[in-house]
Structure 1
Amino acid sequence: MSSSSVPDYLRDDDLTQETRDLISSLPSEKGWLVSQMYQFKGFWQTQALLQGILKCQKHFEAKDSDIILVTNPKSGTTWLKALLFALINRHKFPVSSSSSGDHPLLVTNPHLLVPFLEGVYYESPDFNFSELPSPRLMNTHISYLSLPESVKSSSCKIVYCCRNPKDMFVSLWHFGKKLAPEETADYPIEKAVKAFCEGKFIAGPFWDHVLEYWYASRENPNKVLFVTYEDLKKQTGKEITRIAEFLGCGSIGEEEVKDIVRLCSFEHLSKLEVNKEGTLPNGIETKAFFRKGEIGGWRDTLSESLAEEIDRTIDEKFRGSGLELSC
């Protein structure tokens, strides 16, 4: 992929002097998804995303009614955006109306319905978050400790979704191959696994990101809800009900839950024209967000030795945390 085709949030064309001054003092590495990334407060970012994070920290003012969806990259973000959008807007946009073709999810990609905080602050600095309808639904990959202070101090709700690291890595690997600049497009998977296990990828390390939100969910369960991609796949209706209770969405009937599950299923969303054709404003093709959406899909890509390398790393990093992830 030529550099002109790289998504905006991976490009570094419009950096402020503040960002340029900061990155000159940060540890840097050549990445397997990007040409260069920088370590800021323990996590690796592109220059563009770093600028977005800095602006988000300075300017974003959370409201008590806000809902912040947080994930590591490629951890069910698109699906969870759709689920939460359908859930919190079910009175404004009844899911049963989807049969007549007027539900927003039938004609709009989920990423356009739920803004990506640090991406918006880099790509569209004049975006007015105050104009979003309440409750405002947004997403981010920012670590818990680096969230804007207003998010942590307000009564807004955080829903964190964690995915099995092998599936997350493989999804990121295939996604990255579609988007990576030419100089990193042929990066060997063995080196990518090594970098992943060293925590050196966008928004990494995986384990620090997950554990920050895991501990926050245990310390303040009314503020942070921790869900897993695997539970969402295995018992989607039950997890939607749990999320609804956490968000205070009011009672939700069994049939309504089933309608949301059907509307937002991978099989349904991936077949919609809006998710098969066209690109988002940041240059990413909408179809890039829909590959397989499976549990255990890593087996098609990772050798046994590479899978074991990831498992050993995660076992070591999660030891004593009380958190166990499905394989």
Structure 2
Amino acid sequence: MWISEKLILVAITIFLGSCAGPTSPFGAQALVFSEFRAEPQKLIKHAIEQEISQRQVYHTPFDLVLNIKDDKKIPKDFRFEILHNGKRLHRWWRSEKILMNPLNPTQAKVVFENLSLLPGRKNEITFLYYRDKNSKPVAYKFLPPHCPLRTGRSIASLTPFQPKGVHIESLESIAKNNEINPSLLAALVAQESSFNPLAISWAKALGLTQVTPLANEDILRQRPEWKHDPQIKDLSFLELKAKILTKKLTKEQDWRLDETKSLEGGSIYLNLLSDYWSRPSVKQTLDRSFNKDIPLTDILLASYNSGAYRVKRSILRKKEKWLESRELKEARKYVMNIKSYCHAFAMNQETL
């Protein structure tokens, strides 16, 4: 009896494991998908409306609230489905809550709590609302975070960070003087150093904007008066970290440890990268590789992280899918996290 029960348990375990299939942010998916490609429609009489401030978030788990409005009344048995990367999800369990409005039958909410999107994965998400089984779906595309390079929008908040040596006013001033989106510069700092002015990486990148030794050389050509300790190149990571922690190396010896100059230097380097990608010969590569708009912000951020040469090589090989290349795996996470921070820092402003 004990043996047969054990065999049954093993069989159930194997069955459940084999049926798990790939996962999505909204729960397990079935092994067989039905292809469904729907372009977002303009919503007229019945629609899924999303809060203006809400876009995809990658840097932290978040709550997503979708407001459904249907002038013909929302039936209790309406269908709500999700398309993830062009495939309809068949889920054994649903993570969302459906909240009907008892005072207004034309309104309802779909709430996803503690939703997590992985920045290294592709996330094309569309929500579908069916009034009944015979009606056509109304589709709403959940857009990724958007973060333009050049804009004058101010920073609403740096939450969850509470930087001590960095003030929003000075960050905005430096960004605007360099014609950089202030929220983008703040997001770059959040991703690079978590607003720690003494941050150091294994590649010996220093400061708020984590300027590498190679980037440092380019920036010093623009700011030759800034102090730089040439002995840093001969130190190991641990030796360099020890010098910073014991205050034997400070902002008086190297500009990258100065909060204001680090913000300025990071902005300068973004503009140097922009100049590189604007060269006629390089611009031709972009024009040939992209059928639609060139994602310049993504390209600059990926170049900041992985180098312009590696990014250019991926664009030549993969064209519009350049950020999905294996050699830019970390750069993709980096880009999506920064754009997510950027949108969050400016989300109380008008829609980006």
Alignment TM-score, normalising by the size of structure 1: 0.21
- More helix by proportion, 1 or 2? 1
Alignment TM-score, normalising by the size of structure 2: 0.20
- More strand by proportion, 1 or 2? 2
